[in-house]
Structure 1
Amino acid sequence: MNKDQVKGAIKDAAGKVQEKAGEAVGNTDQQDKGVVNQVEGKVQKAYGDVKEVLKGNK
C-alpha cells in the first residue's frame, strides 16, 4: 500500500463524514464539499492502485 492509496481512502472517508454532517445540520454547501472530497479521495486511491500495479510489473 502506498501513500496515495492511504491518503485517498482517508479523504474519501472524511468526505463521507462531512457530507453526513452537512445533511444533519441542513448545510448543502458542506454536503457538496463532502461529495467533492469523496470523489477526490477515490481518484487519488485509484491512482495509488495503478502505481502499485505498475510497481509490481517492474
Structure 2
Amino acid sequence: MSGEQKAKAHVEQAKGKAKETVGRTVGNERMTAEGRAEQAKGDARQAKEKTKDAFRR
C-alpha cells in the first residue's frame, strides 16, 4: 500500500505543477493557487510515506 500512496503523491504533485503553470500562463490566480495547494498536498503525502518508511527500518 505504501507504493500506491507514493504514486498518488507524485500524481498530485504533477497535477498541481501543471495547474499552476497553466494558471500563470492564462493569468488565472485561482487556478495558480489551486495548483500550489495540490502540490502541497502531494508533498505532505510524500513526507508521511517517507516517515513511515523510516520507522519500518
TM-score, length of structure 1 as denominator length: 0.84
Q: Where do 5+ consecutive residues of structure 2 fail to align?
A: none
Point out where structure 1 has 5 or more consecutive residues left out of the alignment: none
For residues 13-40 of structure 1, give each alpha carbon's deviation from its aligned partner in whole angstroms, at most 9, with x where no partner exists.
1100000001111111000000000101
State the TM-score, normalized to the length of structure 2.
0.85
Q: What number of residue pairs does the alignment pair up?
A: 56
After superposition, the CA RMSD in angstroms is 1.3
> Identity over aligned residues, as a percent?
25
Which structure ranks higher in relative contact order (CA pairs < 8 Å, sequence separation ≥ 6)?
1
2-structure distance, mates of 1:45, 1:51: 10
Q: Structure 1 segments of 4 or more deviating over 3 A?
A: none
